[in-house]
A = this chain, B = another copy of it.
């Protein structure tokens, strides 16, 4: 059994380490994996995107704890849900929406309200440690979802930018920059003969080194979306790319 963590906590303050301490206090043998803790503070959309990109590569039964949670302590609900064969634990603020949308059947979801499955004194600035980590710990020990609290019928939607189709044109936008400065779009990988950006045609290639040097190119990237990149360069920096800029691809 594995627990995978995604937060905007950074790694400097020990906030992630202490969550692991709590988990191991409940289930000493469990595998814990970090996905990322450098989601931009409070950026729920970025957290949702990373989760969607990577979750399917983890073992069936994996419990994902996703904490990008500007509303911690407010009326937003702490939840756990199961969809497909994986579990997700975190705030009900849309962070799980891109996963939930992938499945036809709605998820089984519950509010985390059983205080016996949380730390004794919950601090309303740190549900990651006091509610989400212990919930993941108990889930990994096989405690069934229903014991955590009452069912939730509706899981929050995320305001994720959609694609616009015009004939054989697909209009999307830049939604994330990765560590290399590649611009991840919201256009799913596909067989596109070419693309367009800032009024100029973009070559579509199969791997980075086959792109044109010094130019912007398109490739099916690591997130499962089309990416704009410069071979051996940092596209974001060299071309001043911005979140939200429009990217177009032509379908065959």
Cross-chain contact of A41 among B124, B180, B222 (Cβ < 8 A): B180
Given contacts A35-B18, A70-B208, whether A125 and B28 have CB atoms under 8 Å apart is no
List residues 60-97 of chain A with CB under 8 A from any CB of chain B.
62, 70-74
Cross-chain contact of A207 among B1, B72, B222 (Cβ < 8 A): B72
A177 shortest CB reach to chain B, Å: 9
Interface size on A (CB < 8 Å)? 66
Residue A232 is within 8 A (CB to CB) of chain B in the complex: yes
Q: Which of A9-17, A107-115, A151-159, A167-175 contacts B (4 or more CB under 8 A)?
A: A9-17
Can you report 26 A-B residue pairs in the complex whose CB atoms are below 8 A from each other? Answer: A6-B17, A12-B36, A12-B178, A13-B223, A14-B53, A14-B54, A15-B178, A15-B222, A16-B34, A17-B35, A17-B36, A18-B35, A18-B53, A24-B59, A41-B180, A57-B129, A70-B232, A71-B209, A73-B209, A74-B207, A74-B210, A123-B189, A124-B206, A124-B207, A125-B208, A125-B219
